[in-house]
Amino acid sequence: MSAPASDDAAAAAGGRAPRLAGLRAVVADPMGALGLVMVVVVIAAALLADLSPHNPVAMLPRERFADPGLVHWLGTDHLGRDLFTRVLHGARIALLVALSATAISLAGGLVLGMAAGYGPRWLDSALLLVFDALRSFPTVMLALALVTLTGPSLKAVVAVVVIATLPGYGRVVRAQTMVLRHAEFVLAARALGAPAPRVLALDVMPNLIGPLLILVSMDIPVVITIEAGMSFLGLGVRPPTPSWGTILNDGYAFIRESPWPAIAGGLPIVAATLGFTFLGETLRDRFDPRLRREG
């Protein structure tokens, strides 16, 4: 019994070793370390938002446009609401939209892309037509159309992001699937009589997840800016729900009275965008085999 147990422990340790080596490589890169720290700060802000002693929607008119201090770390807005607390809760909205929308886009692009790359030619042509049709819509026009039909909401923001990003994932998966379908291990599975769903799930999909996750890490900052932009234009979450875009919009409207609302709304967007971008660039440089060969 001791020998199998030791073998399992050795296998588990061997599986953890590449992951730890990859993490050390990311941390060793200055840009990757900075990006990781910024991403961790954004995630921590979203998780710990309820620890703030202030209510993000409580209005205190007597404290409107207060400067940063020990009570209000980032000051207050035109309604006396604590900006630091609203920024923390705005991180939840940004991450909720980014993670949910990219997960839906990733799942949809993975399924449709594999179907296009592995299926018959007529299905490939039809799905490519769908991808191109979805990509032809400008994001702003698409947002305006959806909001006109459904009204401003978080669901509308997620729908806009999914429609804007799913075709990109689908095309990447399609191209990789068309290459993998002629690989020896796929041909061997097909020769043994494995059905197409089994081949796609067990042989093709595992070779697609890694590159797709790198693309996701690069797209998350784009999704965050889309959500902030729609909220800034009044097309996203409805007030008084705190969002970085609405905070920035309030700051822009009252910039002559106080600069702090605009700063409080703009800095988190910049930090989150740079953090995920730096981390995604480092992951791509570290784990993309083509870049490693070129380097």
10 pLDDT exceeds 60? no
**154: closest CA among 66, 239, 214?**
239
What pLDDT, on the 0 to 100 scale, is given for residue 183? Answer: 87
CA 259, CA 42: separation in Å to the nearest integer? 22
Contact 239, 246 (CB under 8 A): yes
| Domains assigned to the chain | 31-294 (1.10.3720.10)
Q: How confident is the model at residue 136 (pLDDT cuts 50, 70, 90)?
A: confident
Q: How confident is the model at residue 21 (pLDDT cuts 50, 70, 90)?
A: low
**130: closest CA among 113, 144, 114?**
113
- pLDDT > 70: what percent of the chain? 88
Higher per-residue confidence, 85 vs 152 = 85
Q: Which tokens hold the place of 240? A: 């008084």
Please, which residues bridge with residue 82 across strands? Answer: 76
71 pLDDT exceeds 50? yes
What pLDDT, on the 0 to 100 scale, is given for residue 18? Answer: 56
What pLDDT, on the 0 to 100 scale, is given for residue 17? Answer: 56
Flag whether the pTM goes above 0.75.
yes
**208: closest CA among 247, 252, 256, 174?**
174
Contact 103, 169 (CB under 8 A): no
**114: closest CA among 217, 213, 199?**
199
Q: How confident is the model at residue 210 (pLDDT cuts 50, 70, 90)?
A: confident
Q: Which tokens hold the place of 74? A: 């980032």
CA 175, CA 204: separation in Å to the nearest integer? 12
CA 143 to chain centre: 18
266 pLDDT exceeds 90? yes
Contact 211, 288 (CB under 8 A): yes
For helices 83-118 and 154-180, give the axis angle rounded to 10 degrees: 30
